Amino acid sequence: MIYGEVNNFLSTNPSFEQRVWNGIMYNQKLQRITNHKWKSDAAKSVTANMLKAYQGQWLVGIIMPDVELTNNKDERGIRKVIPHRKLLGGHRTKQGSYDFAVIESHRQTWRLRNESSYNKMVGYLMNCNVKSAS
């Protein structure tokens, strides 16, 4: 509902002033949805856990043209590494999972910036203080 309206609005290439005013209007609509007295437990859960928790972040893309309304591009990037993780048997420890997430996040950022992930990683590892395993 709001997503479609916002997409239609953004397709008109609005000025910054129009973006700010419409951002306020769409934020008010979102607040009305989150403040509605929902009867369904599922609806209550979504509004309490997702909409209210990230209320200031949902519509950032209206005012900032470089920010997408969805995280689909990021999801597609993450989806590519899932088969490798499964092939390797997943992560054996919380630390291993954390390390993988950090490294993969950096790799994808470098790829989006058209930088060599190999050279960046080597440079990072040469300049960081890594604790040796005892």
Q: ∠23-13-2 over CA atoms, to 5°?
A: 40
| Domain assignment present for 20 | yes
Looking at every residue in the chain, the average pLDDT score rounds to 83
Domain of 11? 2-63
Q: How far is CA 99 from CA 41, 105, 134, in A?
A: 36, 10, 18
Task: Kindly state the tokens that stand for 45.
Answer: 């859960």
| pLDDT (average), residues 34-61 | 83
Q: Is the pLDDT of residue 131 over 70?
A: no
Distance separating alpha carbons of residues 117 and 107, to the nearest angstrom? 5
Distance separating alpha carbons of residues 40 and 128, to the nearest angstrom? 51
30/10 same-domain check: yes
pLDDT band at 24 (very low <50, low <70, confident <90, very high): very high
The dihedral region occupied by 115, where left means phi > 0, alpha psi between -120 and 50, and beta the remainder, is: beta
Give the pLDDT of residue 19. Answer: 92
Total domains in the chain come to 2
**pLDDT tens digits, one per residue of 95-115:** 888 888 888 888 888 888 999
The amino acid sitting at 52 is: K
Q: What is the pTM of this model?
A: 0.56
Give the pLDDT of residue 20. Answer: 93
